[in-house]
């Protein structure tokens, strides 16, 4: 956590209302006069604080890996903001998760030539105690079965083992489509498919073990066999981006290299050119640590036991800054909540903002919240969830509830044309099935509205990658999103009637699907209250 004097400076930088950095917006066109909506527009579009809040969150506080001091510092920062804004804010412990401290990652090729390699530790990797670990490399061979793999293991003792697919190209598909001859493109497609089959799945190269999201059960078994470390790479289909996920190793460090540098080390090893790597990694495994949701609340004045919930997960992986997954969703809800504290301090229904922990590990925080707060699930009038990157919201789904769709149409009819003309209502929509935190509420049949928008190459460039940083955020789109969410929350809070929970039929939700592929309402899953390993 930050020393108190630094925390105070960060809080001041994020909350003092300074002149807006962006030019004033044109006046919005409202279908009917509404002083509250008009003020939300003015404050949200002309005096937005989302970029200043984002700079503190993404640059100073940084990524929010579950179970780390970085995440707890960010939780405490939110609580401080809410107190400064004059509303209730608190951290609620959901359980524990494995703790870890990330320090530096220095990875160098020493022979047959010297090069500093682009790479970093996987999350929760053991370090080298800030000492140099120098070792030669070995490629994981192809085995007939797991018995042959176990017999081979002594040969890997003291080696750095390469366990990921050697990509035949680090150029994205778009580059090949634009420039390659048809024959060359077809050959490359075939090569890529071959290496994916060979190195993927739950039985990597016949070992009987999986890399899962990083090194999985394979890394653990290699560690038991005495390897010096594990070298991985999960490149995206894009320039310069790799996934940076996790390991469950506790003594043998695991690192992720860029597509280019992994390919270099692989080819040197394959061609018996005696590559040697030096790793100097600073990390500390801290055991189970408490983890928290952060909750903000404005108590309802007329229907305090009915709830409007602004929802976004707050945790992230830490290869970048956790900017678009899900700093942008968190900032959207944070700024929307700030607008409501200023414009609508006495709502009819209670307005809650939920910053969920450990979404990346199975919706842990939001599932725990539904278990710990059944009264909120029972009284939930509307939940708005955002977890789709930095893009402008273009569609809102009614979550499979026809009456939720009727309310959504009414709200849309009150929005300014600048929003209603570009946002599509998906009615009845479908309940979220597990991809984000709205699923934790939708499985109970509660009104959970999911929001999607402009892609901005989210999947290839920023989702869980080393490039998910402040500069990838589109701040104009976040202003739009926060202002829109604040308006929807206000309109939902003012509703004269409560959304009913009759569910759409399977045919209404997924027309034409039958048999094994027929739609079924998702079931609720119990939240793990401590580290739940994903080894396969």
Per-residue tokens: 88: 């209730």
Number of domains into which the chain is organized: 2
Domain assignment present for 23: no
Question: Could you tell me if 226 and 319 lie in one domain?
Answer: no
- Distance from the Cα of residue 323 to its chain's centroid: 9
Question: Could you tell me if 358 and 209 lie in one domain?
Answer: no
Q: Using H for helix, E for strand and C for coil, what is the string for 267-278?
A: HHHHCCCCCEEE
CA–CA separation, 251 and 235 (whole Å): 25
Question: Could you tell me if 267 and 384 lie in one domain?
Answer: no
Q: Name the pTM for this structure.
A: 0.94
Question: Could you tell me if 205 and 66 lie in one domain?
Answer: no
Question: Could you tell me if 118 and 247 lie in one domain?
Answer: yes
Per the CB < 8 A criterion, the answer to whether 122 and 214 are in contact is: yes
Domain boundary pick from 247, 274, 301: 274
- pLDDT confidence of 478, banded at 50, 70, 90? very high
DSSP, collapsed to helix, strand or coil, labels residue 488 as helix
CA–CA separation, 187 and 184 (whole Å): 5
Question: Could you tell me if 56 and 185 lie in one domain?
Answer: no
Question: Could you tell me if 204 and 352 lie in one domain?
Answer: no
- Residue 23 predicted with pLDDT over 50: no
Domain assignment present for 3: no
CATH number of domain containing 371: 3.40.630.10
Helix 475-494, helix 328-343: angle, nearest 10: 50
Question: Could you tell me if 89 and 150 lie in one domain?
Answer: no
Domain assignment present for 522: no
Question: Could you tell me if 302 and 374 lie in one domain?
Answer: yes
- Residue 12 predicted with pLDDT over 80: no
- Residues 260-296 pLDDT 10s: 999 999 999 999 999 999 999 999 999 999 999 999 9
Per the CB < 8 A criterion, the answer to whether 216 and 254 are in contact is: no
CA–CA separation, 97 and 170 (whole Å): 35
- pLDDT confidence of 25, banded at 50, 70, 90? low
- Residue 3 predicted with pLDDT over 50: no
Domain assignment present for 7: no
DSSP, collapsed to helix, strand or coil, labels residue 310 as strand
Q: Which of 157, 160, 168, 163 is nearest to 143 (CA)?
A: 163
CATH number of domain containing 125: 3.50.30
| DSSP string covering 162-230 | E-S---S--S-HHHHHHHS-HHHHHHHHHHHHHHHHHH-TTSGGGSS---TTTTHHHHHHHHHTT-SEE
Question: Could you tell me if 123 and 184 lie in one domain?
Answer: yes
Mean pLDDT, all residues of the chain: 94
188: domain range? Answer: 113-274
Question: Could you tell me if 222 and 300 lie in one domain?
Answer: no
- Residues 408-419 pLDDT 10s: 999 999 999 999
Domain assignment present for 521: no
Q: What is the pLDDT of residue 24?
A: 47
Q: What is the pLDDT of residue 119?
A: 98
Per-residue tokens: 179: 């420039």
């Amino acid at each position: 956590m930050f020393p108190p004097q630094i925390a105070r400076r960060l809080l001041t930088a994020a909350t003092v209302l300074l002149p807006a950095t962006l030019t004033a917006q044109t006046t919005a066109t409202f279908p009917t006069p509404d002083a509250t909506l008009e003020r939300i527009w003015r404050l949200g579009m002309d005096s937005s604080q989302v970029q200043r809040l984002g700079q503190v969150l993404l640059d100073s506080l940084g990524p929010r890996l579950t179970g780390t001091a970085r995440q707890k510092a960010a939780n405490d920062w939110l609580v401080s903001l809410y107190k400064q804004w004059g509303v209730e804010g608190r951290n609620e412990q959901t359980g524990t998760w494995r703790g870890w401290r990330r320090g530096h990652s220095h990875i160098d090729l020493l022979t047959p030539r010297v090069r500093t390699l682009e790479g970093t530790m996987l999350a929760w990797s053991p370090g080298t105690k800030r000492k140099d670990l120098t070792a030669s490399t070995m490629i994981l061979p192809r085995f007939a079965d797991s018995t042959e793999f176990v017999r081979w293991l002594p040969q890997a003792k003291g080696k750095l083992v390469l366990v990921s697919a050697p990509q035949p190209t680090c150029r994205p598909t778009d580059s090949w489509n634009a420039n390659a001859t048809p024959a060359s493109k077809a050959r490359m497609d075939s090569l890529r498919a071959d290496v994916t089959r060979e190195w993927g799945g739950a039985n990597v190269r016949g070992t009987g073990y999986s890399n899962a999201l990083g090194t999985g059960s394979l890394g653990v078994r290699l560690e038991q066999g005495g390897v010096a470390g594990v070298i991985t790479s999960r490149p995206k289909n894009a320039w310069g981006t790799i996934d940076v996920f996790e390991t469950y190793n506790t003594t043998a460090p695991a690192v992720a290299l860029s597509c280019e540098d992994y390919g270099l080390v692989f080819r040197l090893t394959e061609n018996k050119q005696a590559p040697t790597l030096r790793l100097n990694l600073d990390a500390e495994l801290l055991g189970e640590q408490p983890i928290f949701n952060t909750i903000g609340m404005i108590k309802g004045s007329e229907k305090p036991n009915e709830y409007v919930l602004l929802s976004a997960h707050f945790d992230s992986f830490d290869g970048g800054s956790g900017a678009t997954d899900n700093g942008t969703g968190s900032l959207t809800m944070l700024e929307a909540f700030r607008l409501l504290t200023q414009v609508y301090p006495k709502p009819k229904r209670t307005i809650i903002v939920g910053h969920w922990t450990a979404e990346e590990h199975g919706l842990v925080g939001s599932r725990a919240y539904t278990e710990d707060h059944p009264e909120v699930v029972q009284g939930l009038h509307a939940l708005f969830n955002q977890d789709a990157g930095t893009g402008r919201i273009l569609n809102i789904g009614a979550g499979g509830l026809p009456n939720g769709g009727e309310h959504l149409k009414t709200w849309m009819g009150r929005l300014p044309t600048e929003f209603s003309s570009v946002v599509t209502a998906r009615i009845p929509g479908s309940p979220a099935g597990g991809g984000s935190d709205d699923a934790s509420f939708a499985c109970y049949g509660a009104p959970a509205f999911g929001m999607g928008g402009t892609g901005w190459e989210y999947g290839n460039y920023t989702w869980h990658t080393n490039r998910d940083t402040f500069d990838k955020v589109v701040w104009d789109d976040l202003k739009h999103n926060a202002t829109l969410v604040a308006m929807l929350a206000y309109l939902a809070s003012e509703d004269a009637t409560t959304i009913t929970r009759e569910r759409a039929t399977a045919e209404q939700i997924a027309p034409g699907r039958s048999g094994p592929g027929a739609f079924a309402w998702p079931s609720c899953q119990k939240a793990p209250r401590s580290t739940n390993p994903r080894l396969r």
